[in-house]
């Protein structure tokens, strides 16, 4: 069966520090991968998605970037965190075929001080 791993579960970082969140999927090949963010009291917002290695689409301009160095690995990064980057970050995957459900990880709760 397929599983998705996301870490760390919680993270406290100072303003201006770098960020690297990692997500890996097991049990499937060539999945579509997604990064979402949920700010406190708000809905989920799609940040990036990827349909293959090295292929990244950005949904909103922001202080973050994403990379997909391997088929089942998706990384969310920032060079210098802002206070507004605080939130609940979720990675998800889906099969490449159309209209497949997305399966979410347990998320990373990021607090910027």
Partner 1 sequence: DAKTTQPNSMESNEEEPVHLPCNHSTISGTDYIHWYRQLPSQGPEYVIHGLTSNVNNRMASLAIAEDRKSSTLILHRATLRDAAVYYCIPIITQGGSEKLVFGKGTKLTVNP
**Is the four-CA dihedral 13, 38, 48, 68 of positive or negative sign?**
positive
- Verify binding: residue 102, partner 1, rule CB under 8 A: yes
- Of the residues 11, 22, 28, 45, which one makes contact with partner 1 according to CB under 8 A: 45
> Of residues 32, 63, 67, 71, which one binds partner 1 by CB under 8 A?
32
Query: 1 with 27: CB under 8 angstroms?
Result: yes
Which of 74, 94, 110, 112 binds partner 1 (CB under 8 A)? It is 94
3 vs 17, beta carbon nearer partner 1: 3
Instruction: Give the number of other CB atoms < 10 A from CB of residue 73.
Output: 14
101 contributes a contact to partner 1 by CB under 8 A: yes
Nearest to 45 by CA among 85, 10, 12: 85
Q: Residue 74 forms beta bridges with which residues?
A: 23
Phi and psi at residue 32, in whole multiples of 5°? -80, 140
User: What residue ranges bind partner 1 (CB under 8 A)?
Assistant: 32, 34, 36, 43-46, 49-51, 57, 59, 88, 90, 92, 94, 96, 98-107, 109
């Amino acid at each position: 069966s397929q599983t998705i791993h996301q870490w760390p579960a919680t993270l406290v970082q100072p303003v201006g520090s770098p960020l690297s969140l990692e997500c890996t999927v097991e049990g499937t090949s060539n999945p579509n991968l997604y990064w979402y963010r949920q700010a406190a009291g708000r809905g989920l917002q799609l940040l990036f998605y990827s349909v293959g290695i090295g292929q990244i689409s950005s949904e909103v301009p922001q202080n973050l970037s994403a990379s997909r160095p391997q088929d089942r690995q998706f990384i969310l990064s920032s060079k210098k965190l802002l206070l507004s980057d605080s939130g609940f970050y979720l990675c998800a995957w889906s099969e490449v075929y159309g209209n497949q459900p997305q399966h979410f990880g347990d998320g990373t709760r990021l607090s910027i001080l």
